[in-house]
Structure 1
Amino acid sequence: MSKLFGIGVGPGDPQLLTVKAIETIKLLDVLYTPTARNNKPSTAFRIADQYIPKEIDVKKRKFPMTNNWHEKRKSWNLIAQEMVTDVKQGKNVGFLTLGDPSVYSTFSYIQELVDDQIKIEIIAGISSFSQIAAISKMPLMLDDESLIVVPANTKQVHLEQLIEIGENIVVMKVAINYPKLFAFLKDSALLDQAYLISNASMETEQVINLQDCDGTEDLPYFTTMLIKKEGKDK
């Protein structure tokens, strides 16, 4: 039976796609992919490109990068209904997403719109923060420790509260709020406990030492921070 597949392609290195993700891509009849700026393929598409059979019908669609919720919802709904039509015609349809489809992914909104109309399967992918832990050679959490994952564009007061109470904190898309976040970490004497990596596992990967920074650096969009508190009371 035909389905819509949400496929995580991992953080950037094509070798980090799971076997299941690759096998699922090869089963697709139609593949939806966001159109990046300048009409270039999306990052997720470029990562998976070598595994995409030439005969697959690739449909490039614009997903608005805007804070206008109504505009985004309207666009998602149009694309979602097109996907439903394809699946009901007996086609296996895929949507590629960077990292994991269940972590801050547009696919979750598509899923919500079509969940009661067609069958859906989600293929998990490696998240950027899992890869950052691997690059840094440190565990995300141990024993009874907790892990907090938060986007940098959350309200500043809330972000600071989470960092204050957390033991291990992942901040996604740091570039959006980097100057304020840097200032808070500096005031809290946490710069030496924060690890900043841009474009994890991609050819343009950067490991940034925050103690050599001043908070004015121009960071790539895909920049993630891992804060690991030392000596926090249990």
Structure 2
Amino acid sequence: MNPENKSEIRSGNLYGLGIGPGDPELLTIKAHRILTSVPVIAYPTMESGKVLARAIVADFIRPEQIEVPMPLPFSVDRSSQPYYDVAAAKIAEHLSVGRDVAVLCEGDPMLYGSFMYIFNRLSDRFHTEVIPGISSTFASAAMLGAPLTYRNDVLSIMPATLEADILRDRLAVADAAIIIKLGRHFAKVKSVLEELDLFSRALYIERATMPNQHIKPIASVTADEVPYWAIVMIPSQTKPQ
């Protein structure tokens, strides 16, 4: 066959798949459809070997699907750029030969999501679609049974990895706040909350919607036992009408 007569290979579609905070039943219908139909799925893996994203949707993955693990360092002390470069290159290999790829992302892909870094590397080369997911930040409010905001309240979401003075300044003017990525930063966050007289308002939850979800009074939390997947929520004080 003359090579000139060959039809050009269509590139595959790249999907950023928001799979929610942990409960598989919170997966959207659209995310389920794409997850169960694409030939390739990719997902981040931790340095410890844990694979949270895949575990959430494990029951929906078919044996014939190609899996692309993406080892990533979940540490502020190590640069993640080379790891995302490698992951993007692996995904691009499949897209280039016409295979659709769904990249699993806990919560919502565009809210502190690992998929954003794949998006930045590949969306200008391949057709990309982002499927929103339920964020753990808002799932936590539901699990805690605590309305976050009323009327004109402004909600602030901030990572606990910020320096104490920055956390202090932002919390001081927040109507309502969610502090994520607690882990080893809990003691710092607790100190700032006490300084601002917000500690009594603060609510604590870890691993929201997962089988091992845990809600406890924040005063009883032991700092060295706080996981990365823990959240402190400070609901609005606005009186509902």
TM-score scaled to structure 1, two decimals? 0.91
Partner of residue 73, structure 1: 81
SS for the counterpart of 1:27 is coil
Q: Which has the greater radius of gyration? A: 2
Mean Cα deviation higher: 9-18 or 31-40: 31-40
Q: 5 Å matches for 1:57-136?
A: 57-67=66-76, 71-136=79-144
Q: 5 Å matches for 1:1-234?
A: 2-40=12-50, 42-67=51-76, 71-213=79-221, 216-230=223-237
SS for the counterpart of 2:68 is strand
Root mean square deviation, CA, Å: 1.8
CA distance in 1: counterparts of 2:126 and 2:181, whole angstroms:
32
Residue-by-residue CA offset, 1:7-26 (whole Å, 9 max, x unaligned): 11111111111111111101
Counterparts in 2 of 1:231 and 1:3: CA distance versus 1, 3 Å: closer
- Aligned-pair identity (%): 26
Runs of 5+ unmatched residues, structure 1: none
Q: CA deviation at 1:209?
A: 0.7
The amino acid of 2:65's aligned partner reads: I
Is the 8 Å Cα contact of residues 184 and 223 (structure 2) preserved in structure 1? no
CA distance in 2: counterparts of 1:184 and 1:67, whole angstroms:
21
Q: CA deviation at 1:216?
A: 3.3
CA distance in 2: counterparts of 1:39 and 1:219, whole angstroms:
19
Runs of 5+ unmatched residues, structure 2: 1-9
SS for the counterpart of 1:157 is helix
Mean Cα deviation higher: 75-84 or 197-206: 75-84
Is the 8 Å Cα contact of residues 150 and 238 (structure 2) preserved in structure 1? no
Q: Between Structure 1 and Structure 2, how many residues are aligned? A: 229
Counterparts in 2 of 1:66 and 1:131: CA distance versus 1, 3 Å: closer
Q: CA deviation at 1:37?
A: 4.1
Q: CA deviation at 1:66?
A: 3.7
Mean Cα deviation higher: 73-82 or 195-204: 73-82
Q: CA deviation at 1:192?
A: 1.9
CA distance in 1: counterparts of 2:102 and 2:164, whole angstroms:
36
The amino acid of 2:66's aligned partner reads: D
Is the 8 Å Cα contact of residues 27 and 92 (structure 1) preserved in structure 2? no
Q: CA deviation at 1:139?
A: 2.1
Is the 8 Å Cα contact of residues 45 and 52 (structure 2) preserved in structure 1? no
Q: CA deviation at 1:217?
A: 4.8
- List, as ranges, runs of 4+ consecutive aligned residues in structure 1 with deviation greater than 6 Å: none
CA distance in 2: counterparts of 1:7 and 1:58, whole angstroms:
14
Mean Cα deviation higher: 165-174 or 184-193: 184-193
SS for the counterpart of 2:107 is coil
CA distance in 1: counterparts of 2:135 and 2:220, whole angstroms:
27
